[in-house]
Chains A and B, each alone.
Chain A
Amino acid sequence: MVLPPFGGGVDTYLHGVGHTPFGRHTARLDTLAIEAFERMHGEAEEALPEPGHVVVSSQFPGEYGGVENAAAAVTDGLGLAGLAATRVESGPSSGLAALEIADALIRSGARDTVLVVGVETMTRLPAAMANQVLARMATLEERKLGLTMAAQVALMTRAYLEEHGIERELLADCAVKAHAHGLQNPLAQFRKAVTRDEVLASGPVADPLRLYDCAPLSDGAVCLLVSREKGPLRLGAMGHATDHLSITHRNHDARTLTSFRATTRAAEEAFGRSGWSVEDIDLIETHDAFSLLEGMNLEDLGLFERGAGVRTVAEGETAVTGKHPTNVGGGLKARGHPVGATGCAQVAELFWQLTGHAEVEARSVERAQGKRPKKALAHNIGGLGNNIHVALLEATA
């Protein structure tokens, strides 16, 4: 698929990132955003361009963070009152949704520079309440059954294991791999190695998923500064697609339970606009909120054959030293998953890795692979695969 470029020759570049530790914070939503903003300025080597617009990604600022009117609250907190400010959400893919809007503002000529702020505080509510809020992303009929996001992915996980004849232990190995990467990320929520047996012995959540198969509830904030001025990373293209809210309405698709076709559509759009293909990608950040997803997503993105994803991840091919390094910061599973900030954290990891930044010294892909990655892909899922973004990034140096 070849798609026309858009933007009339204008390109969008990433100039800087700031990332709070992910985990449990007592700070308010707007305070976390300030910390990420200060970190971004603190680690910038040159003066950053001044934004003309703030795009805030936060999925549940009111329910989780007690803050409504979040765009103005965050913008004023950052000392940027006066600028245009907008909040966007597309479920847990809100972070890349914010980047998509920022990119469109820049390519349209409306703004020269845009600050993206992804922020979420999820740990104040008891877990059952937090999961009830997350479950509102599903249809009413599904919610009446007590289905959580974990339960919906559990349904897919069982179908994947049965369809492809995969042993459950391999899913545990995917979680082990994520934790091994998280161990090397000082900002990650989980900085501890786990074993296959520990994953298999962790508490049941929704059969066959156990606690260590699932990303945690997290607090955190990440800032990204993007501009039409040339910077260290170019945003090659983005792709975005939705699907029916309920998996039962995808019943005409034979792969309903073992893939997210919105991933494939979003990737096709991004590749079509950029002229790149999946073979060009040196480094991937993908939305592994559950142990099935890293492998399944990499199938949907076209990197692995159907049914090969989970096994390939379990065998180490996506480790920092592997053929296709993926989620080298620990992924959602180990880095943590403050939903509105996750897509921005993916982009921050890619920024550091593609610019050879000291932040990622302990998990440097450049060192592990013998050469610095040049092209990278971020993949961010909203809901049960029903609002999905893909971003392609390229080092300009």
Chain B
Amino acid sequence: MTSPHMITVSRCDDGHRTHPVRRDCPACGADMHPVVIEGKGTVITWTRIERPPEGFKTPQLVVLVRLEAEREEKDPPVVLAAVADTTTKVECGNVMLIRDTQERYEAEPL
């Protein structure tokens, strides 16, 4: 559990998980509680932002990663993360590791 690629998601008693953490389960409405899981998964879509909002460098590279299901089958959580090296070649299906820098979530190729 010393890997830097552990992130906190929310889980309900029925096994639904989602990210970022929230109080109620989007799937069933039950209370959720935080659980720490490995931030490893597959890119399902991405974009390179060439016209970011004020205050951001151009470009920004953002991926949406579906975390690996581990042993639980229900709806693996998806996580939005920035790729710090914006020259990284990204394709859907790439496996990435995600960490929480406290500032934002960052992904890097495995």
Residues of A within 8 A of B (CB): 126-129, 131-132, 135, 139, 141-148, 150-151, 154-156, 158-159, 162, 203-209, 244, 246-252, 256-257
Q: How far is the CA of A209 from the CA of B16 in the complex (A)?
A: 33
Q: How far is the CA of A205 from the CA of B51 in the complex (A)?
A: 5
**Mask of B56-74 contacts with A, CB within 8 angstroms, 1/0:** 1000101010100000001
Is the Cβ of B18 less than 8 Å from the Cβ of A249?
yes
B44 at the interface (CB under 8 A from A): yes
Q: How far is the CA of A206 from the CA of B45 in the complex (A)?
A: 12
Q: How far is the CA of A158 from the CA of B64 in the complex (A)?
A: 11
Q: How far is the CA of A148 from the CA of B48 in the complex (A)?
A: 11
Q: How far is the CA of A2 from the CA of B77 in the complex (A)?
A: 35
User: A148, A159, A207, A251 — which one has the most chain B CB atoms within 10 A of its CB?
Assistant: A251
- Among B16, B46, B79, contact of A248 (Cβ-Cβ < 8 Å): B79
Q: Given the known inter-chain contacts A129-B54, A250-B26, please indicate yes or no for A158 contacting B47, CB distance below 8 A.
A: yes
Is the Cβ of A145 less than 8 Å from the Cβ of B80?
yes
CB closest residue in chain A, given B51 = A205
CB closest residue in chain B, given A136 = B53
Supply 23 A–B pairs (Cβ within 8 Å), ascending by A.
A132-B53, A139-B20, A144-B103, A145-B60, A146-B56, A146-B82, A147-B62, A148-B49, A148-B52, A151-B49, A151-B62, A154-B49, A155-B45, A162-B45, A203-B50, A205-B50, A247-B64, A248-B80, A251-B19, A251-B75, A251-B77, A252-B26, A252-B75
Give chain B residues whose Cβ lies under 8 Å from the Cβ of A132: 53-55
Is the Cβ of A158 less than 8 Å from the Cβ of B19?
no
Give chain A residues whose Cβ lies under 8 Å from the Cβ of B79: 248
Q: How far is the CA of A277 from the CA of B49 in the complex (A)?
A: 39
Q: How far is the CA of A204 from the CA of B64 in the complex (A)?
A: 20
Q: How far is the CA of A232 from the CA of B103 in the complex (A)?
A: 56
Q: How far is the CA of A275 from the CA of B44 in the complex (A)?
A: 39
Give chain B residues whose Cβ lies under 8 Å from the Cβ of A206: 47-51
Is the Cβ of B60 less than 8 Å from the Cβ of A244?
no
CB closest residue in chain B, given A245 = B22
Is the Cβ of A248 less than 8 Å from the Cβ of B51?
no
Q: How far is the CA of A145 from the CA of B56 in the complex (A)?
A: 9
B78 at the interface (CB under 8 A from A): yes
Give chain A residues whose Cβ lies under 8 Å from the Cβ of B53: 128-129, 131-132, 135, 143, 146, 148
Give chain A residues whose Cβ lies under 8 Å from the Cβ of B92: 158, 162
Is the Cβ of B18 less than 8 Å from the Cβ of A248?
yes
The 8 closest A-B CB pairs, nearest first, are: A132-B53, A252-B27, A146-B60, A146-B56, A154-B47, A146-B52, A204-B50, A144-B104
Is the Cβ of B50 less than 8 Å from the Cβ of A207?
yes
CB closest residue in chain B, given A126 = B54
Is the Cβ of B78 less than 8 Å from the Cβ of A151?
no
Give chain B residues whose Cβ lies under 8 Å from the Cβ of A143: 53
- Among B19, B51, B64, contact of A131 (Cβ-Cβ < 8 Å): B51
Give chain B residues whose Cβ lies under 8 Å from the Cβ of A147: 49, 62, 80
Q: Given the known inter-chain contacts A151-B62, A248-B78, A248-B79, please indicate yes or no for A146 contacting B20, CB distance below 8 A.
A: no
Is the Cβ of B45 less than 8 Å from the Cβ of A257?
yes
Q: How far is the CA of A251 from the CA of B16 in the complex (A)?
A: 10
Is the Cβ of B47 less than 8 Å from the Cβ of A155?
yes
CB closest residue in chain B, given A258 = B45
Q: Given the known inter-chain contacts A151-B62, A162-B92, please indicate yes or no for A249 contacting B46, CB distance below 8 A.
A: no
Q: Given the known inter-chain contacts A162-B45, A250-B26, please indicate yes or no for A141 contacting B51, CB distance below 8 A.
A: no
CB closest residue in chain A, given B60 = A146
Question: What's the least CB distance linking A201 to chain B, in Å?
Answer: 14
Give chain A residues whose Cβ lies under 8 Å from the Cβ of B95: none
CB closest residue in chain B, given A246 = B20
Given contacts A141-B105, A148-B49, 13 further A-B contacts (CB under 8 A): A128-B54, A129-B54, A131-B51, A144-B103, A145-B82, A150-B51, A155-B45, A204-B51, A206-B51, A247-B64, A251-B19, A251-B66, A252-B27
Give chain B residues whose Cβ lies under 8 Å from the Cβ of A159: 44-45
B96 at the interface (CB under 8 A from A): no
**Mask of B81-108 contacts with A, CB within 8 angstroms, 1/0:** 1100000000010000000000111000
Is the Cβ of A142 less than 8 Å from the Cβ of B16?
no
Q: How far is the CA of A251 from the CA of B22 in the complex (A)?
A: 13
CB closest residue in chain A, given B17 = A251
Is the Cβ of A248 less than 8 Å from the Cβ of B77?
yes
Give chain A residues whose Cβ lies under 8 Å from the Cβ of B22: 249
Q: Given the known inter-chain contacts A148-B53, A158-B92, please indicate yes or no for A207 contacting B19, CB distance below 8 A.
A: no
Give chain B residues whose Cβ lies under 8 Å from the Cβ of A247: 64, 78
Question: What's the least CB distance linking A36 to chain B, in Å?
Answer: 30
CB closest residue in chain B, given A209 = B47
CB closest residue in chain A, given B44 = A159
User: B53, B56, B103, B105 — which one has the most chain A CB atoms within 10 A of its CB?
Assistant: B53
